[in-house]
Amino acid sequence: MTPLVSIEHLVKYFDIGRDQRVHAVDDVSLTIYEGEIVGLVGESGSGKSTLGKTILGLHDKTSGTVKYGDEALPQHYRAADFQKYAARMQMIFQDPYSSLNPRMTVAEIIGEGLRLHSNANSTEIRERVAEWLRRVGLQPDHMSRYPHEFSGGQRQRIGIARALILEPEFVVCDEPISALDVSVQAQVVNLLDSIKKELGLTLLFIAHDLSMVRYVSDRMAVMYLGSLVEVGPANPVFFEPAHPYTQILTSSNPEPDPESERHRASTSITGEIPSPVNIPAGCRFADRCPKVMPQCRQETPKLKPLNGDADRQVACFLYD
Amino acid sequence: MSSDKLLSVENLAVEFDTYGGTVQAVRDVSFAVDAGETLAVVGESGCGKSVTVQSVMGLIPMPPGRITSGTAKLRGRNILGNPIVGGEDIRGAEIGMIFQDPMTSLNPTMNIGDQIAETLEVHRGFTAKQAFNRAVELLEMVRIPEAAKRAKQYPFEFSGGMLQRAMIATAIACEPAVLIADEPTTALDVTIQAQILDLMNDLKRDTNMAIILITHDLGVVARMADEVAVMYAGQIVEKGAVDDVFYRSAHPYTLGLRAAMPVNDREAEHRLTPIDGSPPDLFHPPKGCGYCARCPAAMKVCNDVVPPEFAMSDTTDHFSRCFLQHPESSAVRLDGLYRKEVSA
């Protein structure tokens, strides 16, 4: 497997004045290989979206590097950098209502990337837009309509067509299905899956629906308060979670099966994700962890291979 | 039979006048719920689940809304059509409600304790001081730490999970007989969702109230419900005990919803089966079955006639509004409708 995106010690802090900083992404290292789907899960406020946006240069990096193939991406993107990388790396946004410009037609929204990043003339652009509308399951004659004329699922398809029309290699999907109804979620997931196979895409799939992430992803990464606590192939991480946080996430996830729900022990974890402003020393999960040890409050655990298996990494002293 | 239940709604129909015409949001909906029971109402956005419970609460603005038929009886007394002003003896007192988005449902300019206390002052005639003290107790009951201090704080100082707890405290302040929860956990993370669902179950056990839970998440349904009503295009298309609806699903829409969700089974390598198309336009509801246009098993009759409720057994009240359940319908095997393709 060839690494496509290599993230090393990536840090993103936001200054909020009075010498305080939000530790949104704190020392994250993750390698995404060509052709795979990596699912990124965690509670809201854990830094998933910030990580996705920082990889693509939508936020400046505070420190650390992101390499695309062998090429290091700039610390701070300038207009020319977006010009250079946008055709290869794209993003699908969470909210199909606020991420499409209401004053642009569908043809303008989807065709804008081609207009900026290719030499195609307007006839060619229209043809490509029509082709992509068909590919995402809309009609070419929808081209001259405005976003408000579409349902949520249709808008998300427009967002997908906009991101994919440049045939990028790497796409960050930031909660692409959370705003959609169950029956439409399946439509969008299947669409992403078939386009991924056709174009050989590599995806970072951010979501909080664990069952869906397990279904979609090859590998799963679990994030808590700015750092990764567990990384590994999707099935083992979901079915045999190692980190106490992952265990709590998977056991809080209700299954559509009354029989197994009746036998579920009450698993709820007390407390909520703390503020990422003043992060205490030691493991970030220590205050909520049911298996906390004295060591956890003094040292910060690092991601290490679990039982010598390099594919499966966990940041927890229980496995030292 | 259902009239001796705590709350029973019969033949409810609600319309809204809009610029585009009249929307028939709820079309002939009946259900009942008893003390200590949880009824889950499931369905996609726009299927009429929120409008149904808002009509019962008397929260439908009229005009543009209009209740065209039906009754809603609480302990035998019809409460349907209570005006928004003047319906307070029921709303907030006998029936409490939790809304979906805790961030926007609370007043940002009032502290949390006063918001809970207001309910008690209006419905129970408490003095401000009594009500505030009771509000602190209620916050303790919904497990908010340092309740006395928290009661003096404003909504912006609370997290989403805490606000939802505060809203539950408000809803149960007058010890209502029925608690309506409209997507109470949709805006929350799974860990916080688990806490809130546990809390609702504990409160139900302690107070023996009835819960009507509106959700689109079948996982939440499986965890909470005794009875399930599946709504589509303004109608209940299938209803019954939770096990009947999940394990002996009798309507193609229920099956479709289940096939569209991932199964947490590592052996089951299947592709999700989406339901093609989108729900019908309720400005002009279809003449026959609402699901007809998306149904893989649709027959000619489905187009023209609204299917009645076909009882699935003599011993339970499980029913399906689907002509496939007609005794003379050719035996179509429902479980093959959304065959899960094996991925290559």
Mean pLDDT across chain B, nearest whole number?
Answer: 86
How many domains does chain A fold into? 2
Cα angle at B173 between B169 and B178, to 5 degrees?
Answer: 95
For residue A171, the tally of other CB atoms under 10 A from its CB is 25
Whether A95 is covered by a domain: the verdict is no
Residues A279, A185 share a domain: yes
Residue B126, Cα to own-chain centre: how many angstroms? 31
User: pLDDT over 90 for what percent of chain B?
Assistant: 32
- Contact of B137 with chain A, judged by CB distance below 8 Å, is answered with no
Report pLDDT for B14: 92
Whether A184 is covered by a domain: the verdict is yes
Please judge whether A249 and B275 are an interchain contact, meaning their C-beta atoms are less than 8 angstroms apart.
no
Whether A96 is covered by a domain: the verdict is no
- Contact of B216 with chain A, judged by CB distance below 8 Å, is answered with yes
The tokens for A166 are 């440049």
Distance of residue A151 Cα from the nearest chain B Cα, in angstroms: 9
Residues A133, A121 share a domain: yes
Domain boundary among A125, A142, A165: A165
- Contact of B171 with chain A, judged by CB distance below 8 Å, is answered with no
Which residue in A has a C-alpha nearest to residue B185's C-alpha? A254
- Contact of B219 with chain A, judged by CB distance below 8 Å, is answered with yes
C-alpha–C-alpha distance, residues A313 and A305, integer Å:
4
Residues A119, A108 share a domain: yes
Give yes or no for residue B269 having a pLDDT over 70.
Answer: no
- Contact of A189 with chain B, judged by CB distance below 8 Å, is answered with yes
Contact B57, B9 (CB under 8 A): no
Looking at residue B32, the DSSP 8-state letter turns out to be: E
- In chain A, which residues have their Cβ closer than 8 Å to the Cβ of B260? 182-183, 185-186
Domain boundary among A117, A139, A165: A165
User: Which one of A12-26, A78-92, A231-245, B313-327 scores highest in mean pLDDT?
Assistant: A231-245
Give yes or no for residue B339 having a pLDDT over 60.
Answer: no
SS3 B54: helix
Residues A58, A191 share a domain: yes
Residue B96 β-bridge partners: B179
Residues A288, A188 share a domain: yes
Report pLDDT for B268: 64
C-alpha–C-alpha distance, residues A256 and A318, integer Å:
32
Residues A304, A219 share a domain: yes
Q: For residue A73, what is the domain's CATH number?
A: 3.40.50.300
Whether A94 is covered by a domain: the verdict is no
Mean pLDDT of B20-31: 89
Q: pLDDT, tens digit, for every residue of B173-224?
A: 888 999 999 988 887 788 888 888 888 898 899 999 999 999 988 999 999 9
Whether A111 is covered by a domain: the verdict is yes
Confirm whether the ipTM is greater than 0.90.
no
User: pLDDT over 90 for what percent of chain A?
Assistant: 39
For A79-88, give one letter per residue: b (16+ CB within 10 A) or e.
Answer: eeebeebbbb
| Through-space distance between the first and last CA atoms of chain A, rounded to whole angstroms | 28
C-alpha–C-alpha distance, residues A181 and A189, integer Å:
12
Report pLDDT for B344: 29
C-alpha–C-alpha distance, residues B107 and A265, integer Å:
36
Task: Label each residue of A126-195 as H, E or C.
Answer: HHHHHHHHHHCCCCHHHCCCCHHHCCHHHHHHHHHHHHHCCCCCEEEEECCCCCCCHHHHHHHHHHHHHH
Please name the residues between 92 and 131 in chain A that touch chain B, using a CB distance below 8 Å: none
Please judge whether A183 and B44 are an interchain contact, meaning their C-beta atoms are less than 8 angstroms apart.
yes
- Choose from B146, B186, B189, B230 for mutation: most chain A CBs within 10 A: B189
Distance of residue B341 Cα from the nearest chain A Cα, in angstroms: 12
Which residue in B has a C-alpha nearest to residue A215's C-alpha? B262
Residues A112, A247 share a domain: no
Q: pLDDT, tens digit, for every residue of A285-302?
A: 988 888 889 999 888 898
Residues A232, A142 share a domain: no
Whether A231 is covered by a domain: the verdict is yes
Whether A98 is covered by a domain: the verdict is no
Domain boundary among A127, A143, A165: A165
Whether A246 is covered by a domain: the verdict is yes
Residue corresponding to tokens 């959304």: B338
Residues A249, A215 share a domain: yes
Residues A188, A149 share a domain: no
Residue B18, Cα to own-chain centre: how many angstroms? 24
Q: pLDDT, tens digit, for every residue of A33-63?
A: 999 999 999 888 888 999 999 999 999 999 9
Please judge whether A214 and B260 are an interchain contact, meaning their C-beta atoms are less than 8 angstroms apart.
no
- Contact of B271 with chain A, judged by CB distance below 8 Å, is answered with yes
User: Is residue B166 within a helix (H) or strand (E), and if so which, with residue range?
Assistant: helix B160-172
Domain containing A152 equals: 103-165
Residues A160, A172 share a domain: no
C-alpha–C-alpha distance, residues A257 and B201, integer Å:
18
Distances (CA, A) of B267 to A68, A262, B99, B274: 35, 23, 38, 20
Residues A119, A45 share a domain: no
Report pLDDT for B2: 46
- pTM here is 0.84
The tokens for B268 are 């089951």
C-alpha–C-alpha distance, residues A9 and A29, integer Å:
5
